[in-house]
Structure 1
């Protein structure tokens, strides 16, 4: 009777210079080649294939293993493709950084190599400011988040990365500046999140904690082994104000480090852009205009002018209404320095209908000139729909 438990050895299982993956039997049932045996020559391969058989169970098990390995390779290839996509698109990369900073700034004592993680995050922001500054700015306005405290620090650092590039700051100074922005509220991250959801005034305990948080943040950083004294100085002074009304030291203008003043500027701007329980967020153009007029605090006018010139009156990621009544999103800052004529993509027709895909518009043309800003809610578009606009 024929042996139905064995089949002819498939040629794909025998390769010169490789191990045989299964036991191979002769037609009389005797073991011919044991699993793991190396096939050394083409002649040896031919002899094994001519006489060899393999059990049905072994072949099935091997096929199952190969299928698992194939699926694992496909999954890994997909993971790598998604990773490359995140690295290529600033919005997707910032989404990843948002999750990283949430864990890092809320659970720092449970983390390993905190200083290295913070410096790597700063370096990542610096790279994004070099390779995709428009997308980085847009990400601060469009990428959703649910932890204000950590995301606020990340957005402040991102704006500083873009501004520091404009100022041509030396790399070590820029990295330290971003590290300070990322950690300016460490130890009080949860408090900042709670206050963003609180529609009433601070209670005495919250006020005392807020007044102390620059020094608390510095103490936490020392406890984590960070010894960079300039980093500590920037964190300690990031709430000092030119008029002497800041905290914790009440320093005057000439006593405040310019880097700490820059951190404060980014801190105030990014806070203004976010809706809190006690007030709505400002549209970017409105917030920048009020900063320029000194309505929130006294800032160095040179720094404010640089910030507006770098971000533009209508920063990437903000929404505008065009002269032809289309609604559009700003995608890129103007290359000629004209802050009121950025590149935009129309999202909705004058009748209010959504376009199937965004349509580029030249805002230098009268019919496509910008009439004024609108909110994300007015634009009525999901931020995820806009992600491809900043793909490389």
Structure 2
């Protein structure tokens, strides 16, 4: 197939689920999205066998908005499109394209729609792909987390879209360095520290040069590393001068960083991240934002691997609330062997209550369409 290309070295990472389906030269599916490469040998065999994935340059540039697209959102199949649309939106800022602002807000609309129509799968994306995300993936996670915090805080829809636009662009000036920084064990150089401390202002300035004129968005970007006690940067503002939205972006970045593996430290488990956030918050406003995130995630957010009372290992697929219980799909039986397929478990039942969040050394492969039942629609 002409629109398929050989996988480039570095595109796949051991222990991280495939972000897209892999094909052979004839276009037949060989590995579905969600398959996890377990060893270096598997990785080498994958490259040697000439597997392919859709060629970016052979696919049309995504439109910033597609109002005629009324398909129900499936965040798993949308994931490559979301990342590609983000790439084009950020490139429009870099090129100072006249449609840069429209692309950013268009992507914010698409993320918001995914979060509204498929909230649990969107949160699952954050947790399933947090092993070692790229800079673009991290950026998308920030926007998803911001959406759920904003909903908990009952923010109006227009303000949420501006918040998401800011989350998608706040680290624009850092993007050329972010992947390298995340994979480096070396201490930051003086130049790197200078860029980090200046990047909120640099990002806001780049947005302005590209014609982004939404003052709220620009202010959120410029303030998203300020701290209520004045210890933040770049201006050392204090709580009364910092927008709530800027603190939401900061929290989204912090949570994503906690659950992400970096070269210089291990990732937090979801339980550890929750414990840290529940004890943090320098002001009543900050603590309110933290509580909003914790309430949105619930103790067992979608995408989390958990051990059930019957000793099965399952993946959470639906959060519980006051009206319905948490739902999981059991993928490993009580003796530690992988099920063929998966079995739905109502975690409000004693036999299937969640005992603990599991932190495996290697995520198991999963068929996301099957687990979240998109294949049945």
TM range, smaller chain: 0.7 to 0.9
* 2:170 pairs with 1:188: no
- Residue 370 of structure 2 is matched in structure 1 by 388
Using the size of structure 2 for normalisation, the TM-score is 0.75
1:148-163 mapped onto 2 (5 Å cutoff): 148-163=134-149
1:305/1:232 Cα in 2 relative to 1: closer, same or farther (>3 Å)?
A: same
Q: Select between 191-200 and 90-99 the one with higher mean Cα deviation.
A: 90-99
SS in 2 for 1:372: strand
1:1-392 mapped onto 2 (5 Å cutoff): 88-105=73-90, 108-110=93-95, 112=97, 113-143=99-129, 148-294=134-280, 300-336=286-322, 342-375=326-359, 377-378=361-362, 380-383=363-366, 385-390=367-372, 391=374
Counterparts of 1:251 and 1:228 in 2: how far apart (Å)?
21
SS in 2 for 1:346: strand
Counterparts of 2:176 and 2:365 in 1: how far apart (Å)?
28
SS in 2 for 1:356: strand
Q: CA RMSD in A?
A: 2.5
SS in 2 for 1:321: strand
Kindly state the Cα deviation for residue 133 of structure 1 after the two structures are TM-superposed: 0.5
Kindly state the Cα deviation for residue 103 of structure 1 after the two structures are TM-superposed: 4.4
Kindly state the Cα deviation for residue 85 of structure 1 after the two structures are TM-superposed: 11
Counterparts of 1:146 and 1:377 in 2: how far apart (Å)?
13
Using the size of structure 1 for normalisation, the TM-score is 0.72
SS in 1 for 2:322: coil
Kindly state the Cα deviation for residue 144 of structure 1 after the two structures are TM-superposed: 7.7
Counterparts of 2:323 and 2:263 in 1: how far apart (Å)?
36
Kindly state the Cα deviation for residue 263 of structure 1 after the two structures are TM-superposed: 1.1
Counterparts of 2:188 and 2:103 in 1: how far apart (Å)?
32
Kindly state the Cα deviation for residue 99 of structure 1 after the two structures are TM-superposed: 2.8
Counterparts of 1:134 and 1:99 in 2: how far apart (Å)?
22
Moved over 6 A (4+): 144-147
Kindly state the Cα deviation for residue 177 of structure 1 after the two structures are TM-superposed: 0.5
SS in 2 for 1:188: helix
1:144/1:315 Cα in 2 relative to 1: closer, same or farther (>3 Å)?
A: closer
Unaligned runs of 5+ in 2: 1-68
Kindly state the Cα deviation for residue 87 of structure 1 after the two structures are TM-superposed: 5.3
SS in 2 for 1:358: strand
Counterparts of 1:362 and 1:309 in 2: how far apart (Å)?
20
Higher helix share: 1
- Residue 4 of structure 2 is matched in structure 1 by none
Counterparts of 1:368 and 1:162 in 2: how far apart (Å)?
27
Kindly state the Cα deviation for residue 329 of structure 1 after the two structures are TM-superposed: 0.2
Counterparts of 2:341 and 2:85 in 1: how far apart (Å)?
31
- Residue 16 of structure 1 is matched in structure 2 by none
Kindly state the Cα deviation for residue 251 of structure 1 after the two structures are TM-superposed: 1.0
SS in 2 for 1:308: helix
Kindly state the Cα deviation for residue 241 of structure 1 after the two structures are TM-superposed: 1.0
1:92/1:108 Cα in 2 relative to 1: closer, same or farther (>3 Å)?
A: same
Counterparts of 1:325 and 1:206 in 2: how far apart (Å)?
47
